[in-house]
Amino acid sequence: MIKRTLFFGNPAYLSTKNEQLVVNFPEEDRAPATVPIEDLGYIVLEDPQITVTNGLLMKLVQNKTAVITCDRQHLPCSFLQPLTGHSEQTERMRHQLNASVPLKKNLWQQTVVAKIQNQAAHLAVRGQYAKKLQRWAGEVKSGDTENHEAIAAAHYFQSLFADITAFSRNQKGVAPNNLLNYGYAILRAVTARALVSSGMLPSVGIFHSNKYNAFCLADDVMEPYRPYVDILVRELVDQGEYMELNTEIKSALLGIPAMDVNIDGKKSPLMVAMSRTTHSLYDCFAGISRKILYPEL
């Protein structure tokens, strides 16, 4: 089942009654709105004057609904996750923490290969030169010791947005970096939610290891999914809508969890595919499998 994403950009009072999320609008003459909590996958809270009751937060967490809050720049900055995401969480975390260095290097190699292949496929679909990326994908070694991931990313973004003057991939760079930042933040929340539901720690990565980063594993696993965000952002750029991160653009980017992706030969919503990816990752940690299941563009 595809879960719904709700975005709140105006002052609101959020509470719960009869297993429903109840929305009251204090500054508007509108009747309260209700949504079944079981239908919710993600809630994005942008306006600083939003009030959420503890009773609602409890039910959202129990439903594994991702509650995402935004900063003053309107970018997602935090993610509420449950303390218990899976019935076998202790054992699953133990397998994750005990993963050997050679295994983690192999998993990172698979991740980088999948990411570069998807980047190449995106350029190819657009009729752009992709042979360099295709070659680099085949040259990635265990642990990506030659840093093909960064080399490929620089070439990919230079090609993808070659028509935009002074563009380089930088969080504080010129548009459409603002759209990419927002889209990747949503993707990160989708990934963290799936990891928690699979009983793993989003903060303990296979490659990323910054001690100040609470989402290292999420940042690892989301890499091959990034080109799906790029596809959506490139479409917005082609439409001439990318200079300002307005409500319409945010609405389009909040559709990322429901995007169709191809995984294991089948079409699936991105959020469902991500759960399959994180489940396959646990199987690798547990010694059941040696391959992570990633989508293919």
Instruction: Look at residue 135 and give its three-state secondary structure.
Output: helix
* Angstrom distance (rounded) from CA 41 to CA 194: 11
* Higher pLDDT pick, 64 / 126: 126
* Angstrom distance (rounded) from CA 171 to CA 21: 34
> Encoding tokens for residue 196?
């928690």
CATH of 4-80, one of 3.40.50.1370, 3.40.50.880, 3.30.70.1140, 3.100.10.20: 3.100.10.20
Binding-site positions: 149, 208, 223
In eight-state DSSP terms, residue 78 is E
* Angstrom distance (rounded) from CA 234 to CA 6: 24
Q: Is the pLDDT of residue 60 over 70?
A: yes
Most trustworthy range by pLDDT among 15-24, 51-60, 108-117, 189-198: 108-117
Cα radius of gyration rounded to whole Å, the chain: 20
- Where helices occur in 101-173 by DSSP H, the ranges are 101-125, 131-137, 148-160
* Angstrom distance (rounded) from CA 287 to CA 12: 47
Same fold, 4-80 and 89-285: no
Q: 132 pLDDT band (50/70/90 cuts)?
A: very high
Domain ranges of the chain: 4-80, 89-285
* Angstrom distance (rounded) from CA 269 to CA 75: 23
Residue with tokens 């190449």: 120
Percentage, residues of the chain above pLDDT 70: 98
Q: How many beta carbons lie within 10 A of that of residue 101, not counting itself? A: 9
Binding-site positions for Mn(2+): 149, 208, 223
Question: Environment class of residue 84 by beta-carbon count within 10 Å: exposed (0-12), middle (13-18) or buried (19+)?
Answer: exposed
From residue 213, how far is each of 128, 132, 216 by CA, in Å? Answer: 35, 32, 6
- Tell me the CATH number for domain 89-285: 1.20.120.920
198: phi then psi, degrees, rounded to nearest 5: -90, 5
> Computed from CA positions of residues 47, 13, 195, 234, in that sequence, does the dihedral angle turn out positive or negative?
negative
- For the ranges 5-14, 35-44, 83-92, 115-124, the lowest mean pLDDT is seen at 83-92
Residue 248 belongs to what H/E stretch? helix 247-253
Q: Tell me the Ramachandran region of residue 156: left when phi exceeds 0, alpha when psi lies from -120 to 50, beta otherwise.
A: alpha
- For the ranges 182-191, 243-252, 277-286, the lowest mean pLDDT is seen at 243-252
Give the pLDDT score at 84: 67
27: phi then psi, degrees, rounded to nearest 5: -100, 5
> Encoding tokens for residue 2?
């595809």
Indicate the Cα dihedral angle 80, 247, 269, 86, nearest 10°.
10
pLDDT per position as a tens digit, 204-225: 999 998 888 888 999 999 999 9
Question: Environment class of residue 26 by beta-carbon count within 10 Å: exposed (0-12), middle (13-18) or buried (19+)?
Answer: exposed
Give the pLDDT score at 1: 60
Q: 73 pLDDT band (50/70/90 cuts)?
A: confident
Q: 4 pLDDT band (50/70/90 cuts)?
A: confident
Residues 6+ apart with CB under 8 A from 88: 199
Give the pLDDT score at 59: 92
Q: Are 107 and 291 in contact (CB under 8 A)?
A: no
* Angstrom distance (rounded) from CA 222 to CA 188: 7
Residue 50 belongs to what H/E stretch? strand 50-52
Q: 144 pLDDT band (50/70/90 cuts)?
A: very high
Give the pLDDT score at 68: 87
pLDDT per position as a tens digit, 240-278: 877 788 889 999 999 999 999 999 999 999 999 999 999
- Can the peptide bond before residue 176 be classed as cis, meaning omega within 30 degrees of 0? yes
Q: Is the pLDDT of residue 293 over 80?
A: yes
